[in-house]
Structure 1
């Protein structure tokens, strides 16, 4: 059985300083770099970079080859959180128990720190010495699609428009597949691409990624009911108080748990059909099922 926690701890010791060094090396105002680094260091398990490394290692490549793509991915994820927390959007004061970026640095710098992380993400990949020119162009295209209007940003808009409305399961899945799932899917697909996965395995991993993306969000919705504020980093029951459609609200809590099991079963089936064993990716699916943050 793969010890996924030890794997993540080991990779974090290597990846975290690498990512923060990329910010400190920038030729930019110190105040901007400080704001960028503040949110990058806000915590979390780095699930997205870890999935990228796991996919890469499934195809016999060292995780370090994915570091620049993983930095770009985490920078885009972080920029989205900075902007989500702003008064014009979710108006949050805390993120994982720490004051949100705009509470520390002011709204203007927070907006610009998010902008800087978004644009620097693409510079990271474009200037990387880890990838060929062809690989860099492909990764940039994949990341832009995952993060942009047909991906995360489009999902965020659909999420805002769906507030205080009774959504269907199909509408809810659209939101989460785009808002959360597309970046999670990029993690897996980028690792597979850099690792040299063939066309068949790429399609199977895309299926795996889609199912774990939905599983991730379903688990988040369940934790909003059953978790604690310390576990989830936000007030428990905030989805209900904000009148958001969730899997438990549409399917009942037990129905949401059943849906979670179904998504994870489908993810495991996709992995079982790969041309090679993928114990790390299997362990990540299991971790999502049990995660408490």
Structure 2
């Protein structure tokens, strides 16, 4: 039977043991968040091979010694021993659950480096008992919290997701001169104002938002891929500038404002230079984008191999976009031959003009998150098919909006009709286009489930938006 003094000693030591238990369980999380605890401080000294570590108490040994003292003071009571044994096993299991694959071994290498017998016991014998030990409540709720946060991020409405993340994108889009103020060049300033005018003219930023959504599914920190999101938006803006030029769509408006080739912005150049500046700004956006993507991703810790795959995918995107624009140009100027294939031709144009930009923003996070494999190849194949459907849906909705609400989307009303452009509406009518939209919607939602069986409600809401948008 314990004496009164022994009982008092146990009462005093239990809170201390509880704190050591928490610090041990939270070791991996505390390392990630740079929190200072006896465990993280001791580990930092050991990893730096600081001699000070030799003069400090090993907090893990302190934890084990307290457990041992309580057991001995109970006169080796079997129930007390079972309780303490479960506490040790649960604590070490938490270390294993909350870390990477080798984190448990790394933990033992730090805290049991001078006791191989103890190290081997934990790593070889106790490890095998982990499946039979119930999870500690704290670990359960920690994992539940992580799952809840991820679920909340990937299962929100588009409006909610955009509200949280859009400002992050908008704040990053402004383009600054490369040359210093002392070496400022007027012509560079003229290009900067043109690029910023086009980038900031509006738009929903659906592409970078969609990229963020996919990155969330693969648990990529959004700030790490912000350079990629910016670069893709610059490439998209570049394509819009080219779209509006007289040799292409010859559009005076872009999102309700003057197209770049139709404005002197702040009267900084004469009107006869506007079209030439627009062409140069579009090319410059491509150059800035590629430098930003390559350098930004490397600086943010992605491997050279994954960045190379990203750059290769973007190069293919730009090539396919040019093919799509050439298809569109020929269709507008030459016409689409063979009536039976008109709808297929329109689908292909929409895929290459619009679907490819959707494809790339969903593909790139996967390339950064996963190494090449058969599983990844299947995943990418499904994503490419999904983006093809999304691009066609986007264009079908655009054609409907041109007829129904042209002015509301910043374009002259019924512009396609006035230009006698072949569209989905001109081929299969308004009702036929709407019906086909619904068919493609069902196929797209099914593909989303195949790509991401869990946590993709936000992406589904984007697809719904493609079909129902008013602008």
TM-score (norm 1): 0.92
- Whole-angstrom distance in 1 between the partners of 2:435 and 2:387: 19
**Residue number in structure 1 paired with 2:114:** none
- Whole-angstrom distance in 2 between the partners of 1:3 and 1:87: 39
The answer (yes or no) to whether the contact 1:54–1:191 under 8 Å persists in 2 is no
**Residue number in structure 1 paired with 2:158:** 4
**Residue number in structure 2 paired with 1:169:** 343
Q: Which has the larger radius of gyration?
A: 2
Q: 2:305 is paired with a residue of what secondary structure?
A: helix
The runs of 5 or more residues in structure 1 that have no matched partner are: none
**Residue number in structure 2 paired with 1:196:** 370
Aligned partner (choices 443, 448, 469) of residue 271 of structure 1: 448
**Residue number in structure 2 paired with 1:67:** 226
- 1:118 lines up with 2:286 in the alignment: yes
**Residue number in structure 2 paired with 1:227:** 405
Q: 1:222 is paired with a residue of what secondary structure?
A: helix
Deviation at 1:160, TM superposition (A): 1.1
Could you say if the C-alpha distance between residues 15 and 275 of structure 1 is closer, same or farther in structure 2, counting changes exceeding 3 Å?
A: closer
Aligned partner (choices 168, 193, 211) of residue 14 of structure 1: 168
- Whole-angstrom distance in 2 between the partners of 1:180 and 1:103: 24
- Whole-angstrom distance in 1 between the partners of 2:223 and 2:418: 43
Map 1:204-223 onto structure 2 (within 5 A): 204-223=382-401
The answer (yes or no) to whether the contact 2:324–2:353 under 8 Å persists in 1 is yes
Deviation at 1:25, TM superposition (A): 5.2
The answer (yes or no) to whether the contact 2:336–2:345 under 8 Å persists in 1 is no
Deviation at 1:64, TM superposition (A): 2.2
Number of positions where the alignment pairs a residue of Structure 1 with one of Structure 2: 288
**Residue number in structure 2 paired with 1:78:** 237
Deviates more, 1:57-66 or 1:239-248: 57-66
Bigger relative contact order (CA 8 A; separation at least 6) = 1
**Residue number in structure 2 paired with 1:46:** 205
**Residue number in structure 1 paired with 2:354:** 180
The answer (yes or no) to whether the contact 2:309–2:367 under 8 Å persists in 1 is no
The runs of 5 or more residues in structure 2 that have no matched partner are: 1-154, 180-184, 265-273
- Following TM superposition, the consecutive aligned residue runs of length 4 or more in structure 1 with deviations greater than 6 angstroms are none
- Whole-angstrom distance in 1 between the partners of 2:370 and 2:276: 42
**Residue number in structure 1 paired with 2:315:** 144
The answer (yes or no) to whether the contact 2:406–2:415 under 8 Å persists in 1 is no
Residues 194-236 of structure 1: per-residue CA shift (max 9 Å, x gap): 2338513332222222211111111111111122412x21012
| Root mean square deviation, CA, Å | 1.8
The answer (yes or no) to whether the contact 2:406–2:414 under 8 Å persists in 1 is no
TM-score (norm 2): 0.59
- Whole-angstrom distance in 1 between the partners of 2:331 and 2:451: 37
**Residue number in structure 1 paired with 2:256:** 97
Q: 1:126 is paired with a residue of what secondary structure?
A: helix
The answer (yes or no) to whether the contact 1:58–1:280 under 8 Å persists in 2 is no
Deviation at 1:275, TM superposition (A): 4.9
Q: 1:43 is paired with a residue of what secondary structure?
A: coil
